[in-house]
Amino acid sequence: MVNGETDRSAPSLQDSGVEDSGVEVSEPLEAIPFPDLDTLEPAVAGQLLETRILMQAALANLNLPTAERGAALGSGCRLFHAYKIASTAAACYRNASRLAPEDPQWHHLLAVLEQQEGHLEEAVAAYTKELALTPRNVAALVRLGETLLELNRPEEASEVLSMALDADPTSAAAMAGMGQVALSAKRYEEAILLFETALAAAPQANRLHYPLGLAYRGAGKMDLARQHLGLRGPVGLAPRDPWVEELPELTTGEVAHLLRGRLAFKAGKADIALEEFRQAVDAAPDSSRARVNLGSAFSQLGESAAAAEQFREALRIDANNSTAHFNLGMLLAHRGELVEASNHLASAVRLDPEDAVALRELAAVLARGGRHDKALQAYGEVVRLAPADEEARLGEVRALVAQQRYGEAVEKLRAALELMTDSGQLTHALARLLAASPDPVVRNGEEALRLAQLAFRGRPSVGHAETVAMALAELNRCQQAAEWQRKALEASQSQGVDSAAAERLQAALKIYETEESCRYPVAENGSSTSKDRPN
């Protein structure tokens, strides 16, 4: 699986909104008032219509988690925002933030739009939701401070602007905001210092000369006041805000094609995504993100050679594109080219050491290549970053078992189950190891039986029935072990397990039926921890 860069004649979207999208949310989605496209220029109308269609398709794609559907909707909202169709964009953002409440982008863009439209209380509410998720986001803090100043709430504005300066002491926009707070409180000398510092950092922001002139006038320095008032210009000062700065680019060129391509991708329309990403590359041949997205579309269509070519081209353009490294690493791992795959995944981790997904995939590739020590280290780092990552916990156990460190594997599983008490995967893995470990000291039939029965009740499967039989055999309850093994065999015949598994099941049944002591004699080198795992 690969990721897009982020970060991996249809019916029109109904004007009544998106209530029929199949999305389950705690709050109902509101109707979206779409504009009359006949009143717009044909090129603009075509863009907006295509975006509406792709938004609807993405929302109807039941293979996407709800939050990803929200992200698809929010992505489309940005085009309406870019064209200043405020009522459509605002309703759209509100729906996106309901579908994906943990994504700060939609709260932020909604807040910016509400602030631009003069809906200041609504803007404060949206910024507050965003900052609950990203409390040190300087752009949101500065914009919230500006909004509070417009609402004549200078004390609250001072508090959030101080937080912005604490997060980034060089922020000219935050300094200017604090200058406004000082000016409103008639602390003129403080205001002068702040405005002068902001202007020194951003001399193009000539609009700041006006409040600076007022501060000089309040301080009684009339010559300087007249000088700065005369220098007043139209250029303001805004915080660095990539989400907002990208909006104008959405209407033309590379970014416009990327927007529609990503929407098509989420809608499950890989062929449309491919064409849009091709056009993005045509518009910007030296764009690594366009190459990554085109490669992702090729990968979705099963064209791995073409995908790899695009990922390599992205890395030629930008050797530090972590998404290109990750996607190429995953593609190579799927093709069995483990050494090069591990190199690219390691590069992705080097570029983003907090990327738990890249770390986990790197660990898996290292384990497949027999490099269990390094795999164990990588899995341990994933567990540190994401303690509830079941796959990483199980990978850690497999790496220990591969090194015949069975006691440590058991302790790792116990610790994981203390955190994730309802995990069927971990429960089954521990039951299997306690029932059939090659190290007899590790075996514990009573605990293995309890856990195996628990796993089987959670999901009656061939593997779970087999593990119950193993646990009974460990307790020398041979007749019962044989009964459970027969259940597993019967189920395997209806489920069509592979021949090797069927032979293994049959061999174990013979032991349970014929031996006085029927303890499972040989474990599977821990491979049971990765098979037949329950959900």
Q: Is the dihedral of CA 61, 80, 77, 276 positive or negative?
A: positive
DSSP 470-525: HHHHHTT-HHHHHHHHHHHHHHHHHHT--HHHHHHHHHHHHHHHH-SS-------T
Q: What does the pLDDT average to over 270-287? A: 93
Q: State mean pLDDT over 336-365.
A: 97
Average pLDDT (75-102) is 95
Kindly list the distances between the CA atom of residue 292 and the CA atoms of 55, 175, 263, in Å, as whole numbers in the listed order.
Answer: 22, 38, 15
23: pLDDT strictly greater than 50: no
Mean pLDDT of all residues belonging to the chain = 89
How would you classify residue 252: left for phi > 0, otherwise alpha for psi between -120 and 50, otherwise beta?
Answer: beta
Residue with tokens 């449309």: 272
Tokens standing for 291? 């190459």
Average pLDDT on 247-273 reads: 89
What confidence category does residue 16 fall into, taking pLDDT thresholds of 50, 70 and 90?
very low
Residue 270 banded pLDDT, cuts 50, 70, 90: confident
* Res 10: pLDDT: 26
pLDDT band at 519 (very low <50, low <70, confident <90, very high): confident
Segment among 290-299, 354-363, 382-391, 486-495 with least mean pLDDT: 486-495
Asked whether residue 533 carries a pLDDT value surpassing 80, the answer given is no
Domains recognised in the chain with CATH numbers: 1-134+243-294 (1.25.40.10), 402-530 (1.25.40.10)
Confidence (pLDDT) at 515: 66
Do 415 and 431 meet the contact criterion of CB atoms below 8 Å apart? no
Place of tokens 């997060």: 167
Q: Is the pLDDT of residue 45 over 80?
A: yes
Q: What is the pLDDT of residue 499?
A: 79
DSSP string over 300-366 = HTT-HHHHHHHHHHHHHH-TT-HHHHHHHHHHHHHTT-HHHHHHHHHHHHHH-TT-HHHHHHHHHHH
pLDDT of residue 1: 42
Query: What number is the average pLDDT over the span 174-200?
Result: 97
Query: Does the structure show a pLDDT above 90 at 411?
Result: yes
Q: pLDDT by residue (tens digit) across 496-510?
A: 667 788 888 888 899
Is residue 163's pLDDT more than 50?
Answer: yes
The gap from C-alpha 332 to its chain's centroid, in whole angstroms, comes to 22
Share of the chain above pLDDT 90, in %: 77
Contact 66, 25 (CB under 8 A): yes
Q: Is the pLDDT of residue 524 over 50?
A: no
Whether the pLDDT of residue 323 is over 90: the answer is yes
Q: Does the pLDDT value for residue 530 go beyond 70?
A: no
Q: 182 vs 156, 214, 227, CA distance in Å?
A: 13, 12, 21
Q: What is the band of 25 on the pLDDT scale with cuts at 50, 70, 90? A: low
DSSP state letter for 39: G
In this structure, of 10-14, 42-46, 176-180, 232-236, the range with the lowest mean pLDDT score is 10-14
Does position 112 have pLDDT exceeding 80, yes or no?
yes
At residue 59 the predicted structure's pLDDT band, cuts being 50, 70 and 90, is: confident
pLDDT for position 520: 65
pLDDT at 199 over 60: yes
Kindly tell me if the per-residue pLDDT of 521 is higher than 90.
no
Q: How high is the pLDDT of residue 446?
A: 96
